Structure 1
Amino acid sequence: MTIGEKLKVCRTENKFTQADIAKEMHVSRKTISGWETGRNYPDLGSIVRLSEIYHVPLEDLVRDDRMLDHFEEQRKNSLRAEKILRATYWINVVCAILEIIDNLRPNGFHLALIPLVLMINLALLISYFDKWYKFKEPFSIVKLILTFIVLFIIFTPISIMNHDVIQALPHHDAYFISGMMTARLVSAFLLSVSITVIIFFRSPHK
């Protein structure tokens, strides 16, 4: 018997409807139906909760080769996602350092591709970040936003008033200067986001 069939039998024996279980589990009735028909599988936390609701041993529910295969696949995917998250986090650290150096322009140092690499890496990092529960409290969100604002205020004048901009002012028209200023503001924005992510998105070492 598959886990879906077991869940359906347990539910009917306890005289619950799918809507009853959906309400208890804080999911949709369609989700419960999907579990029972085998279209998808509940996660381990959900199975533990279902075993409590139905008063059946946990091992009786998970004794299903397909379910065990599913958990193994989940474990592999989770490990892969964690590796990608850690890699993108440290790439972000390196890119942030290079972007700060680029803004200061020591000895004419300049890496034009860093903002693009930083933007792509940030998008990848955020897409793999799975600990959004850290920002459930309003105070956590306020701290994150205030940190970004402070960083943006700090980096904007540094980015705009760098050596290249100052040198270009007497020699180019308003359109060119406007474009350069916009690029420097984007740089300050990306750098502020990057450092905010470094502060708040770090995963604890296992």
Structure 2
Amino acid sequence: MEFNEQLKVLRKERSLTQEQLANELNVSRQAISNWENNKNLPDLEMVVTIAQLFDLSLDELILGGKEMTNMAEKLINDGSETRRAKMNLISISIGAVLFLMGVACLLIKSVSVEYIDAQGFLHENFFLIPIALLLMFSGILVFAITGFKSLRFWWVNKYR
């Protein structure tokens, strides 16, 4: 049984009108109507509140039976989107740190003193240039991969 059907049955079993249920949940009557007509779905906090109000487990309320409903699919998709957003944020942060470390290496190289000692050896921090380029390239690569994966995910979901 779909969530909208389940909500309507539970409400009628308790002899509640949409207005009475809306008052108990602190939402509008239109929200209850939209949920029952499958126009939209409540957020997770509201689902928990509804389950508590009708003294049901979340499994009973969301699944309503053995098969997966659109509510269960929505909750699963919301969770995976949240994880994906967190991973994108972490990836972008890592890319930014790598890029900034590369810039810092170039800045250190530019302000470091180069000199020739008494034995005729040149002292300079030449090694900072390839390290800086490697760090900056790595940061840009992380940005590019994260952006490509996000675009790919968007494209796949748009034309599903």
Q: TM-score, normalised by structure 2?
A: 0.50
Alignment pair present for 1:106 and 2:75 = no
* Residue 81 of structure 2: aligned partner: 77
Unaligned runs of 5+ in 2: 112-128, 147-160
1:90 equivalent to 2:94? Answer yes
Which residue does 1:9 correspond to in 2? 9
Map residues 25-44 of structure 1 onto 2, 5 A cutoff. 25-44=25-44
Higher-helix-fraction structure: 1
1:110-189 superposed matches below 5 A: none
Specify the SS of the correspondent of 1:31.
Answer: helix
Q: Distance in 2 between the 1:13 and 1:95 partners?
A: 61
Report how many residues are paired: 115
Task: Point out where structure 1 has 5 or more consecutive residues left out of the alignment.
Answer: 125-206
Change (3 A) 1:83 1:53: same
Shift of 1:9: 2.3
Q: In 1, Cα distance between the equivalents of 2:4 and 2:96?
A: 42
User: Which range moves more in the overlay, 93-102 or 32-41?
Assistant: 93-102
> Within 2, Cα distance between the matches of 1:50 and 1:88?
38
- Percent of residue pairs identical: 28
1:13-70 CA-partner distances (Å, limit 9, x unpaired): 3344445544544545443333222222334432221011123343321224223333
Counterpart code for 2:32: I
CA distance in 1, matches of 2:27, 2:89: 28
In 2, Cα distance between the equivalents of 1:94 and 1:63?
Answer: 45
Partner of 1:158: none
Structure 1 residues 95 and 62: CA distance shift in structure 2, 3 A: same
